[in-house]
Structure 1
Amino acid sequence: MTIPETLEAKIQASGGNPALMLRRETTPPYLIPLPEEISNWRDEQRAWNTAILYDQSFHMFDTYFKGPDVKKLFSDYAVNDFTKFGRNKAKQFVAVNSDGKYIADAILFGLSDDEYSLVGVPGAGNYMQYRAETGDYDVTVVRDDATPFNPNPRLLFRYQLQGPNALAIVERAVGGPIDRIKFFNIGEFVIAGTKIRALNHTMIGVPGVEKTGLEMTGPIEDGPKVLEALQAAGEEFGLQMGGARSYLTTQVESGWIALPVPAIYTGDDMLGYRQWLPAAGFEAHYSLGGSLYSENIEDYYVTPYDLGYGRVVNFDHDFHGRDALKKLSDGPHKRKVWLTWNPDDVARVVKSSLFDGPNRAKFIDMPSAVYSIATYDRVLAGDRTIGFSAWSSYLANHSAWVSTASIDETEATDGAEVTIVWGDEASIPYKPRVEAHRETTIRATVSTTALS
């Protein structure tokens, strides 16, 4: 049997149905190559109230784009405005297909006016590398893949320092005050003799806690001494190191709907890209799970508006998918919300998963109940499906089980009660992390702005 070499060949070899291919994919959740816990995930979450440092040097893909056409390349394929983008600026990059459907998002760093870096899971970097290499652009691409997929040392260390004491810790490590960095801008300072570039953004949203966060980078060889300096500076401020288990819960805390299915698996518009992507790559192993079951992959496609990215869409420039997205802009849309799960229902499901034998409910793993790359659990208002619940986590600072979700905007009312269908019977024969169980329901309360 011929082994497929491209994503498109794998789809065809799987019977031509990408939804079934991804539904039967066994790949576990996205890998975070850190110790699972440094102390314990509950205390690490509570450290968001003081200060916590996550070593992000290993799990993210960095893709560098350099050349005189770099701004044109990104302006042509991103929904974002690049008029004022350049050195020491950053953006939440979002790309769509010709139908205006979401392909990928990532953080875009302006390293200089002619060099950008896309940082995150590999989807965004892959897509823009494809566009750079197949389009008429004077741009070179350099990949620095995540450590588990990279035979070479990483180019940069990346330390994420979060919490209300973050700035005080940095200034102690620097040895004096630093200039205030505007949100989603990049500042520069020196720690332990190493020049640091720091992006101001936050991954936490604890009520009453100042949302302070700096993502610091520098040459990988200087990483250990910079980390040592930060840890020493943080001792009096209650700094803790964070592990993989608490790190994964920051996605729910910050309100990021992680890893929805990219709209690349159908359509002539994406055929060339599917033929460019390898069969062994990320997109070909994009495992799909959850109770929202469909054999049509397009039922899982979303728009930037459905994910809360309407704020970054700018129609004052021409970009791939602009006209289609413009037609979609007036709605109706889904809206990104948080769902706080009913504690009695959660307790019932946990009890059932442990003690009900063949009638058991799906186990809720803690602190993050994710078992595939993409999660789509059905959300109901009455008996109507109104959207999907994505990643879910227990958050110690809220004493609550919470998920991010995308639901019909007409149903997105603070305090409204909805129902989540919990479980994934369709995945039982295929996904090793999905045990035999029966789907059940969990009540949840909608919040449109932030957790309380």
Structure 2
Amino acid sequence: MSSESLAAALARAGSPVELLRNLSFPPSTFPVQPEFTNWRSEQRAWVETCALLDQSHHMTDLFLEGPDALRLLSDVGVNSFAGFGVGKAKQFVAVNPDGHLMGDAILFHLEEELFDLVGHPMVLDWVTFNLERGDYAVTAERDDNSAVRASGPPRLYRYELQGPTAAALMEAVTGAPLPDVKFFHMAEFSIAGRRVRGLRHGMAGQPGFELFGPWEDGDTILDALLTAGADHGLVRVGAKAYSTANLESGWVPAPLPALFSDDPLMQEYREWLPAAKVGSIGGSHDSADIGDYYLTPYDIGYGKTIRFDHDFIGRAALERLAEAPKRQKVTLVWNADDVTAAVGSLYRPGPGAKYIEMPKARYATHHEDAVLVDGRPVGISLDCGYLANARVMASLATLDAEYAAPGTEVTVVWGEHPVSAKPAVEPHEQVQIRATVAPVPFVDFARENYRTG
């Protein structure tokens, strides 16, 4: 990894937008097998039977241990930590001093003074920075994902089971009735003679458990799950299908962290943060002001996570934002004819539309497409892909409240102008794709309104 700091890279590029739009960094990758069967059937598994997703390799773990670990997390996170005891988990959300999103991750309270923050590196870096500059009796151990880990396997295996038969499969593999586990609470199980921790969870709006334990036990647990799963329709899910699960559940992956504020704390952070850890921006959303790319927690549905019962970085700014008009997170269902025309343009003399990858169409680390009504910007489309269960191209978006009602017609601008220097971006022309607003999460709405059998 280059030792150049983000501050130095910014000074060289002259503009945050110019720096990030032309970086060669790709979208986040899932370093597991792309497909075990085919991604269409694998998507269907979490709706009809049970899907097994291997989360061991693409997430980063930050283990925080010590008497001040909870204080550190409370100082950085917008969440309330009242009653956050051992055996619980939550979606940890952090903002910068101006109230703009730095990122989110899943926080596990494993033992009295031991926590595991699991997710994309953006928010883990922010927590680490604040640990190092603060006065906390905390030790940190980081286990990077398998795409960048220097050597060796992960510290933990993680297997996600989700779908209608997940509960029955768990009873079969553990040989015992399922305990009454609340959502985002943990329980302990015995599988093949091994102690396994399980988080009550679901990544695509379906019932599920995230099972984890020491890496050395991973193969034994996997074999037991596959054997028991044969009677419950278990399907292994590869990276392609897994990358789309968030579109059904409504989670926005890898929003752009708000790194470029003039606040002194952010200036210090840019000196600390290696430029190689900063991702690219892509999409048709085009502004010379990097602030126009930032999101607040309210924009993507994290308002209910914010609690003003403690002091944290960005609290005063979020209290002001809480009184301001807010955008709302929605699903956009793209018009089939317009998507077909964009794809079809690749088979005629070009340049045609920007290539639409299947099943996930994001081509930068942080994707932002302009959303228009009557030619006026009304929001941003953030993550897009194909959902085989509903047979639609869809995206997650944040829109001005007056345009966020289901059924509202909007337009997504697909492709860049001017075309950036990212290697994944070929010469192309921008196209406009009609879209219809649908609820978040989309999975229940799709089952009732789009599903074709």
The corresponding residue for 2:408 is 416
Counterparts of 1:66-81 in structure 2, within 5 Å, are 66-81=65-80
- Residue 370 of structure 1 contacts residue 391 of structure 1 at CA under 8 Å; is this kept in 2? yes
TM-score using structure 1 length: 0.95
**Cα deviation, residue 71, structure 1:** 1.1
> Which of residues 255, 263, 266 in structure 1 aligns to 2:261?
266
- Which of these residues, 348, 364, 379, is aligned with residue 356 of structure 2? 364
What is residue 208 of structure 1 aligned with on the other side? Answer: none
Alpha-carbon shift at residue 25 of structure 1 (Å): 0.5
Contact in 2 for aligned 1:118/1:124 (Cα 8 Å): no
Q: Does 1:201 align with 2:193?
A: no
8 Å contact from structure 2 (residues 249, 440) kept in 1: no
**SS across alignment from 2:418:** helix
Give the Cα–Cα distance (whole angstroms) in 1 for the partners of residues 4 and 357 of structure 2.
35
**Which of 431, 436, 439 is the matching residue for 1:445?**
436
The residue number in structure 2 matching 1:157 is: 157
In the other structure, the counterpart of 1:315 is: 308
What secondary structure sits across from 1:426 in the alignment? Answer: coil
**CA RMSD, 1 decimal:** 1.2
Q: Distance in 2 between matches of 1:203 and 1:47?
A: 13
Percent of aligned pairs sharing the same letter: 46
Q: How does 1:104-119 map to 2 (within 5 A)?
A: 104-119=103-118
- 1:279, 1:123 → 2: CA distance? 12
SS at 1:236's partner residue? Answer: coil
How far 1:4 moved relative to its partner?
Answer: 5.8
1:167-316 paired onto structure 2 within 5 Å: 167-205=167-205, 211-267=206-262, 268-280=264-276, 282-283=277-278, 286-316=279-309
Query: Is this contact kept in 1: 2:419–2:428, CA < 8 A?
Result: no
Task: Tell me, yes or no, if the aligned pair for 2:25 and 2:365 is still in contact at 8 Å.
Answer: yes
C-alpha displacement of 1:153: 2.3
1:34 partner amino acid: V
Letter matched to residue 38 of structure 1? F
Post-superposition offset of 1:272: 1.4
Task: State the SS of the aligned residue for 1:237.
Answer: coil
Alignment-mate amino acid for residue 311 of structure 2? D
Distance 2:3 2:221 in 1: 44
Gap regions ≥5 residues in structure 1? 206-210
Query: Where does residue 325 of structure 1 map in the other structure?
Result: 318
- Secondary structure at the aligned position of 2:136 is classed as coil
Q: 2-side partners of 1:164 and 1:448: how far apart?
A: 22
1:347 equivalent in alignment to 2:340: yes
Residue type of the alignment partner of 2:280:
S
Runs of 4+ in 1 over 6 A off after TM superposition: none
1:399 and 2:391 matched: yes
The answer as to whether partners of 1:11 and 1:18 remain within 8 angstroms in 2 is: yes
Structure 1 CA distance for aligned equivalents of residues 27 and 317 of structure 2: 32
C-alpha contact 1:24 1:427 (8 A) present in aligned 2: no
Which amino acid counterpart does residue 368 of structure 1 have in structure 2? K
Checking the alignment, whether the CA contact within 8 Å between 1:93 and 1:106 is kept in structure 2 is yes
Instruction: Return the alpha-carbon distance in structure 2 between the equivalents of residues 427 and 445 of structure 1.
Output: 27
Q: Distance in 2 between matches of 1:351 and 1:154?
A: 42
C-alpha separation in 2, matches of 1:450 and 1:147: 30
Q: How many residues align?
A: 439
Q: CA deviation at 1:361?
A: 1.1
Deviations 1:159-212 (A, max 9, x none): 01110111111111111212121001111111111111111111113xxxxx20
Q: What is the match of residue 448 of structure 2?
A: none
2:451 is matched with none
Q: Encode CA deviations 1:97-137: one digit per residue, 9 max, x unaligned.
A: 11111111000111112111110111111111111111011
Q: Distance in 2 between matches of 1:255 and 1:426?
A: 30
Q: Distance in 1 between matches of 2:441 and 2:30?
A: 26
- Distance of 1:220 and 1:92 partners within structure 2: 24
Q: CA distance change for structure 1 residues 57 and 450 in 2, over 3 Å: closer, same or farther?
A: closer
- Contact 1:425 1:436 (C-alpha < 8 Å) held by counterparts: no
User: Is 1:37–2:35 an aligned residue pair?
Assistant: yes
- How far is 1:450 from its partner? 3.3
Q: CA deviation at 1:254?
A: 1.2
In the TM superposition, what is the alpha-carbon distance from 1:426 to its structure 2 partner? 2.8
Tell me the secondary structure at the aligned position of residue 397 of structure 2.
Answer: strand
Preserved CA contact (<8 Å) 2:327 2:399: yes
Which amino acid counterpart does residue 112 of structure 1 have in structure 2?
E
Question: Is the CA contact 1:289–1:427 (under 8 Å) kept in the aligned structure 2?
Answer: no
Letter in 2 for 1:438: E
419-428 vs 191-200, greater mean Cα deviation: 419-428
- Structure 2: gaps (5+ residues): 446-453
2:329 to 311, 329, 336: 336
Q: Matched residue of 1:43: which SS?
A: helix
AA at the equivalent of 2:198: A
